[in-house]
Amino acid sequence: MMMMGFLQLLFLSWISVASLRGCMGSDDPVQLNDDVLGLIVFKSDLHDPSSYLDSWNEDDNSPCSWKFIQCNPATGRVSEVSLDGLGLSGKIGRGLEKLQSLKVLSLSQNNFTGDISPELALIASLERLNLSHNSLSGRIPTSLANMSSIKFLDLSENSLSGPIPDNMFDNCFSLRFLSLARNSLEGPIPSTLLRCTTLSNLNISNNHISGNPDFSTGFWSLTRLRTLDLSHNALSGSVPEGVSALHSLKELQLQGNHFSESLPADIGLCPHLTRLDFSYNLFTGAIPESLQRLSSLTFFSSSNNMLTGDFPQWICSMSSLEYLDFSSNQLTGVLPSSMGDLKSLTHLSLSDNRVTGSIPMSLLYSTKLSVIRLRGNAFNGSIPEGLFGLGLDEVDFSWNELSGSIPPGSSTLFESLRKLDLSRNNLTGGIPAEMGLFSKLTYLNLSWNNLQSRMPPEFGFFQNLTVLDLRNTALYGSIPGDICDSGSLGILQLDGNSLTGPIPEEIGNCSSLYLLSFSHNKLSGSIPKSISKLNKLKILKLEFNQLSGEIPQELGRLENLLAVNISYNGLIGRLPVGGIFQNLDQSALQGNLGICSPLLKGPCKMNVPKPLVLDPYAFGNQMGGHKPGADQSSGSSKNFRHHKFLSVSAIIAISAAVVIAIGVMVISLLNVSARRRLAFVDNALESMCSSSSRSGSLATGKLVLLDSKASQDWVSSPESLLNKAAEIGEGVFGTVYKASLGGEGRVVVAIKKLVTSNIIQYPEDFDREVRILGKARHPNLIALKGYYWTPQLQLSGIRLCTKWEFTGKTP
């Protein structure tokens, strides 16, 4: 910081000295040192992590030997400073304005921050200024309007904000290239821009520019324009005719705005157009027929508008087309049979229109075709077989009415195809086995067809597959165990088929899986514990199968799991502890034999050891029986063996019945005895409590206070608690007494003597239940303070001579 201050001071001093010498008419070559000092001061504000500027030495008489510096050989003055992509950071401070012969200043692709220095406008000779791809912020300085010699100005890819200054183009008579793209600029386009009649490239895309640009007297008057990019702003209004005035125009990009009405009808009168993009607007009407004149057009997109009319049959005359996108409009009609004339076509997208008819066979001649998207139309017929012989990268024919079988792929397709979506059609004939040879395939969707086949075991060959969707394709057989050998699969959906057998244990190898859905099949067996290895799993759907057994407790460890549905299976037992399982909705569990959950009604079943099954032939020698398959000489021997089998079964049944009967009798006798004993205890208890009241002494008992601060004074004179005069009420569970506890600060309490039978049978149970009740807190509940238990009543919990202490009010 001290060095920086010194240089700034030195810089100001040098300016003063230079001015003084200039006034005195000195002939000393001070101007050379001006460039050295200016660059050193500029460097002092920078951070140079790779030491690219080490050659910049303030002791040198001239900077012309420094790296990234060029000088005019005639004058020896610095003419160019190019520091592109050196990883420099800091601010563009003072110093550069001393380079009065500078013509080119290029600081792009660094990490400069702060505002654009207004002093840059003091460099009168500057013709090219490139500050793009930095982190500059603030507003565009109005002083740039004074740069009358500027020809190239690129401020793109920064964080500039605010409106474009109205006077910025007051002196733009030399300006040929202007890019303000990818900033945060807002407001309208300044009307002074129309003075820049020499402009050939104008790019203000990817900002927040709004308003209705005046094309008729505005942009269409900039007749030297070769590139006009207003894309991805908030511009609105129509784009009227007049574009034909731009005879030199090669690129017109208006996508991502709010332009409406029809496309300019004279667009085809710009003979040099190579790129035309009207996508993501609100254009209506038909596609202008003048487009067919654009023989040099390579890129045309009008997707995501509201264009109507039939698909243009003349499109095949545009032989230079490489990219054609009409998707998400309302086009009708059929594709021309001469589509194959587009020999250079690499990208064809007509998705989400209303086009009908068949896919033209002539597309096989578009040998450069890489992407073909026909999703969401009404195409019918079969898929041209030779189409899968091309080196396609992406095929999307989903949501159509295609029939027939899936064509076999060629070796070229095996090495190129990355995405294949044939879902929502009427395809039949099975899944081609060679599909597993698509080494680069990442997305495969064949769902909602009628393929009626097994899952090819070759599916295990996929090495890069991330999405496999085979829902409702009439699949049968088992799930291949090697389906997850690649480890890259993220989505696996096999719902709505007739798959049988168990879920393979190898499913745990799908380490990248976050959606697993096997619902509506006939899968059996238990849920594999290996699913607990899928740490990224978010959705698990296994409903409507024939799965049985308990849910693996290990599934509770899946912390990322957000949704589970295991309804309508044969599952039993406890839900896993932890994770999503404690918050599952009833609909995700219902329809099982006995899952243990408070959300479900019905029995809760747990796995128990299987019952002992006796082999009736195990004692064949003793019983004279024979195992099945033994040679028999007559039918009488068969009857004898069958008779012996029935005898053994009868013996087992009778034995079980006898044991049950004896058990019932024993329990009944015990119940009678217990009732007599409880009646005796009940009478004794009543006598004891009454006698205690009369005699003034109560059997020694155990006091348990839930609050350690509660008073214990009442234990010394328990007879006062059963005084008839203290009785204040009687409820369903016993009589309530009023008592006063403590010394001078006496506390009035209510004490209940429990008299209802069959509530608590053991003291430890009573203690546990009372403590649970003591924790209950509610405005309508009176706080429970403690209880008193007598050891004479350990036999049962009937008519316990017990006190429940409450503060405040009568319970």
Q: For residue 92, give the amino acid letter.
A: I
**Residue 624: other Cβ atoms inside 10 A:** 11
Residues 6+ apart with CB under 8 A from 5: none
Place of tokens 């959606």: 515
Task: Provide mean pLDDT across the span 240-253.
Answer: 93
The pLDDT of residue 811 is above 90: no
**What DSSP line would sit under 301-324, residue for residue?**
E--SSEE-SBPPGGGGG-TT--EE
Q: What is the 3-state secondary structure (H, E, C) of 141-192?
A: CHHHHHCCCCCEEECCCCEEEEECCCCCCCCCCCCCEEECCCCEEEECCCHH
Bridging pattern class, strands 306-307 and 347-349: unpaired
Superfamily of domain 28-211: Ribonuclease Inhibitor (3.80.10.10)
The pLDDT of residue 627 is above 50: no
Q: Distance between CA atoms of 361 and 407, rounded to whole angstroms?
A: 13
Distances (CA, A) of 9 to 3, 5, 12: 10, 6, 5
Distances (CA, A) of 329 to 304, 311, 344, 423, 720: 6, 11, 24, 21, 92
Comma-separated ranges of CATH 3.80.10.10 domains in the chain? 28-211, 428-606
The pLDDT of residue 389 is above 70: yes
Q: Distance between CA atoms of 461 and 483, rounded to whole angstroms?
A: 8
Tokens at 537, concatenated: 């799993």
Task: Provide mean pLDDT across the span 518-545.
Answer: 96
E-assigned strand segments in 343-497: 347-349, 356-358, 371-373, 378-381, 394-396, 401-404, 419-421, 426-427, 443-445, 467-469, 476-477, 491-493
**HSE-up of residue 300 (Cα within 13 Å, Cβ side):** 23
Query: What does residue 174 show for φ and ψ, rounded to 5 degrees?
Result: -105, -5
**Contact predicate 795/681, CB 8 Å:** yes
Helix axes 30-44, 2-24, angle to 10 degrees: 160
Q: Distance between CA atoms of 603 and 435, rounded to whole angstroms?
A: 48
The pLDDT of residue 210 is above 80: yes
Task: Provide mean pLDDT across the span 295-311.
Answer: 97
At residue 719 the predicted structure's pLDDT band, cuts being 50, 70 and 90, is low
Task: Provide mean pLDDT across the span 526-539.
Answer: 96
At residue 64 the predicted structure's pLDDT band, cuts being 50, 70 and 90, is very high
Distances (CA, A) of 482 to 460, 466, 493, 509, 510: 5, 15, 16, 9, 10
The pLDDT of residue 105 is above 90: yes
Q: What is the 3-state secondary structure (H, E, C) of 671-707?
A: HHHHHHHHHHHHHHHHHHHHHHHHHCCCCCCEEEECC
**Percent of the chain whose predicted confidence (pLDDT) is above 70:** 71
With H, G, I as helix, E, B as strand and everything else as coil, classify residue 681: helix
The pLDDT of residue 492 is above 80: yes
With H, G, I as helix, E, B as strand and everything else as coil, classify residue 535: coil
User: Between 797 and 359, where is the model more confident?
Assistant: 359
Least confident of 107-116, 410-419, 761-770: 761-770
The pLDDT of residue 619 is above 50: no
At residue 469 the predicted structure's pLDDT band, cuts being 50, 70 and 90, is very high
Residues 6+ apart with CB under 8 A from 535: 511, 558, 559, 560
Least confident of 181-195, 457-471, 568-582, 638-652: 638-652
Bridge partners of 468, per DSSP, are: 444, 492
**Residue 13: other Cβ atoms inside 10 A:** 11
Distances (CA, A) of 16 to 7, 34, 116: 14, 12, 25
**Contact predicate 354/330, CB 8 Å:** yes
Helix H or strand E encompassing 70: strand 69-71
pLDDT number for residue 216: 76
Q: Distance between CA atoms of 465 and 410, rounded to whole angstroms?
A: 19
**Contact predicate 147/126, CB 8 Å:** yes
Most confident segment among 286-300, 447-461, 599-613: 286-300
pLDDT number for residue 481: 85
At residue 720 the predicted structure's pLDDT band, cuts being 50, 70 and 90, is low
Query: What does residue 737 show for φ and ψ, rounded to 5 degrees?
Result: -120, 155
Average pLDDT, the chain: 81
**Percent of the chain whose predicted confidence (pLDDT) is above 90:** 57
Task: Provide mean pLDDT across the span 583-612.
Answer: 76
pLDDT number for residue 597: 79
pLDDT number for residue 707: 60
Has 753 been labeled as part of a binding site? yes
The pLDDT of residue 233 is above 60: yes
Helix H or strand E encompassing 573: strand 570-574
Most confident segment among 47-51, 795-799, 800-804: 47-51
User: Between 412 and 109, where is the model more confident?
Assistant: 109
pLDDT number for residue 623: 38
Task: Provide mean pLDDT across the span 569-576.
Answer: 92
pLDDT number for residue 30: 41
User: Between 795 and 4, where is the model more confident?
Assistant: 4
Tokens at 743, concatenated: 């010394």
Distance from CA of residue 641 to its chain's centroid? 68
Comma-separated ranges of CATH 3.30.200.20 domains in the chain? 673-807
Task: Provide mean pLDDT across the span 11-24.
Answer: 39
pLDDT number for residue 622: 38
The pLDDT of residue 731 is above 90: no
The pLDDT of residue 311 is above 90: yes
With H, G, I as helix, E, B as strand and everything else as coil, classify residue 292: helix
Least confident of 382-391, 467-476, 502-511, 744-753: 744-753
pLDDT number for residue 401: 97
Task: Provide mean pLDDT across the span 205-224.
Answer: 90
Alpha-carbon torsion, ordered 674, 678, 679, 682, to 10 deg? 180
User: Between 804 and 36, where is the model more confident?
Assistant: 36
pLDDT number for residue 204: 97
Task: Provide mean pLDDT across the span 21-49.
Answer: 71
3 burial (CB, 10 Å; 0-12 / 13-18 / 19+) is exposed
Task: Provide mean pLDDT across the span 15-19.
Answer: 39
Q: For residue 398, give the amino acid letter.
A: S
Task: Provide mean pLDDT across the span 567-592.
Answer: 91
User: Between 458 and 296, where is the model more confident?
Assistant: 296
Task: Provide mean pLDDT across the span 187-194.
Answer: 91
User: Between 641 and 252, where is the model more confident?
Assistant: 252
pLDDT number for residue 630: 39
pLDDT number for residue 463: 82
Least confident of 48-52, 683-687, 698-702: 683-687
User: Domain 428-606, what fold?
Assistant: 3.80.10
pLDDT number for residue 297: 97
Q: Which CATH number fits the domain 673-807, given the four candidates 3.40.50.10320, 3.30.200.20, 3.20.20.10, 3.50.50.60?
A: 3.30.200.20
Question: Whole-angstrom distance between the N-terminal and C-terminal Cα of the chain?
Answer: 79
Task: Provide mean pLDDT across the span 644-658.
Answer: 54
Q: What is the DSSP letter of 288?
A: P
Most confident segment among 298-307, 648-657, 663-672: 298-307
**Contact predicate 362/384, CB 8 Å:** no
Q: Tell me the pLDDT tens digit for each residue of 764-773.
A: 656 766 766 6
Place of tokens 């013509």: 103
pLDDT number for residue 458: 72
pLDDT number for residue 703: 65
Task: Provide mean pLDDT across the span 428-435.
Answer: 87
